[in-house]
């Protein structure tokens, strides 16, 4: 029997008992030990690791944020901010899907689905909604307006937990296509960052008739192992290729969650400080600590450490496409993030029509370089007409 296709308005309403429980747990933290600082920062770490983080997320980072989480962070204020955006839920393929949907006042706006990454949530894109949906009110061209849809990945936050296996990028892409159809969007664009940069191209690969184009912050293209691919690389390209290898080696969240997501989740589900430290490895550089704590709170209150981690396990076991993509794709690559080599990206994507590299911004450009990201999204879809 098919599930309901109803779309239901949604509001975040965390019970006070859950807030009290969180505060009590934070008051009883047993801190991990660590080496003295002068032994940690010894220059042995290479690649994308900031000093003091060579062994992982440092104690001082967690202690400072736990203190703020317990005594200075106002969840109710954040909850009110999140509820200012129209949110909904619907059931797709047996899974509850939570999403934000904001229509532009411009009637000819392009529908656009934006997919967040881990350990972010739909919060990643909230500050982009105004400029994208109503460029006229933000000094932009009304021709660059979008109807914006921001779903929470299955198993993440208010789209969780998942209760079946196989919720990787492919199944998620099919769910996103169904979501856009339910909202009345027969043709639409897609944007993604991090996990979203894996899901978004998959939507177009599986539903090319519906997707205008795909804009991403990363193109995850690596050498195939064929030595011929490395011929003719410049010294700078070879050096950067080494950096990419180090980037992947230090992505401990990727290795652990692909291998045994359930083992890790037992600790995260029981310890808010552990949950905070685990997501801090990627969110630690954000300029606003309350953004980190809002995301940590969402994972904690929804108890979705396990189901969000399973996305990595499932995605690693999906059959990878043998053929390159053949739809328009655009890249906005930011300074302090994974940056692909063009020759490998061109091997995997035959129609890269837009490629910009920026000298600022990081892995979460929607937070630390939103102006660049917004302009790049507009420019890409403007090219496509």
The proportion of the chain whose per-residue pLDDT surpasses 70, expressed as a percent, equals 95
Q: Is the pLDDT of residue 28 over 80?
A: yes
Task: Return the minimum-mean-pLDDT range out of 79-93, 116-130, 175-189, 315-329.
Answer: 315-329
Mean pLDDT, to the nearest integer, of 351-368?
Answer: 97
Residues facing 101 on adjacent strands: 149
Nearest-angstrom CA–CA distance, 21 and 2:
38
Tell me how far apart the alpha carbons of residues 207 and 201 are, in angstroms, rounded to a whole number. Answer: 10
User: Which range among 54-63, 94-103, 233-242, 357-366 shows the weakest confidence by mean pLDDT?
Assistant: 233-242
289 CB contacts (<8 Å, ≥6 apart)?
65, 68
CATH architecture under which domain 85-244+324-383 falls: 3-Layer(aba) Sandwich (3.40)
* pLDDT tens sequence across 246-267: 766 667 778 788 889 999 999 9
Domain boundaries, the chain: 85-244+324-383
Mean pLDDT of the chain: 93
Asked if residue 1 has pLDDT above 50, the reply is no
Q: Which of the pair, 340 or 213, is modelled with greater confidence?
A: 213
Global pTM reads: 0.94
pLDDT in tens, 45-75: 545 667 788 889 999 999 999 999 999 999 9
Over 90: is that where the pLDDT of 385 sits?
no
Burial class (CB in 10 A: 0-12, 13-18, 19+), 255: middle
């Amino acid at each position: 029997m098919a599930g309901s296709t109803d779309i239901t308005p949604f509001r975040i309403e965390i019970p006070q008992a859950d807030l009290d429980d969180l505060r009590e747990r934070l008051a009883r933290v047993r801190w991990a030990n660590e080496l003295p600082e002068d032994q940690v920062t010894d220059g042995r770490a290479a690649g994308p690791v900031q000093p003091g983080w060579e062994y992982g997320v440092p104690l001082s980072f967690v202690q400072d944020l736990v203190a703020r989480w317990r005594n200075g962070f106002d969840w109710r204020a954040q909850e009110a901010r999140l509820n200012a955006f129209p949110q909904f839920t619907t059931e797709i393929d047996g899974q509850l899907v939570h999403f934000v949907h904001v229509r532009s006042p411009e009637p000819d706006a392009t529908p656009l689905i934006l997919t967040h990454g881990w350990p972010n949530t739909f919060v990643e894109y909230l500050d982009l909604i105004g400029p994208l949906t109503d460029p006229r009110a933000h000094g932009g061209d009304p021709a660059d307006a979008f109807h914006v849809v921001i779903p929470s990945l299955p198993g993440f936050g208010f789209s969780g937990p998942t209760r079946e296996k196989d919720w990787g990028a492919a199944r998620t892409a099919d769910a996103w296509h169904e979501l856009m159809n339910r909202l009345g969007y027969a043709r639409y664009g897609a944007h993604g960052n991090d996990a979203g940069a894996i899901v978004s191209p998959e939507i177009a690969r599986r539903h090319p008739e519906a997707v205008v184009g795909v804009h991403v912050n990363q193109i995850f293209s690596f050498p195939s192992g064929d030595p011929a691919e490395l011929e003719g690389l410049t010294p700078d390209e070879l050096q950067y290729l080494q950096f990419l290898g180090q980037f992947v080696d230090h992505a401990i969240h990727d290795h652990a969650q692909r291998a045994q997501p359930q083992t890790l989740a037992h600790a995260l589900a029981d310890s808010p400080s552990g949950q905070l430290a685990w997501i801090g490895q990627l969110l630690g550089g954000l300029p606003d600590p309350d953004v980190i704590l809002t995301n940590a709170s969402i994972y904690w209150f929804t108890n979705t450490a396990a189901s969000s981690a399973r996305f990595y396990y499932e995605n690693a076991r999906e059959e990878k496409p043998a053929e390159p993509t053949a739809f328009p794709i655009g890249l906005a690559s930011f300074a302090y993030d994974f940056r692909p080599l063009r020759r490998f990206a061109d091997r995997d994507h035959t129609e890269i029509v837009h490629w910009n590299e920026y000298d600022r911004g990081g892995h979460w450009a929607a937070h630390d370089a939103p102006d660049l990201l917004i302009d790049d999204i507009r420019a890409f879809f403007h090219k496509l007409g």
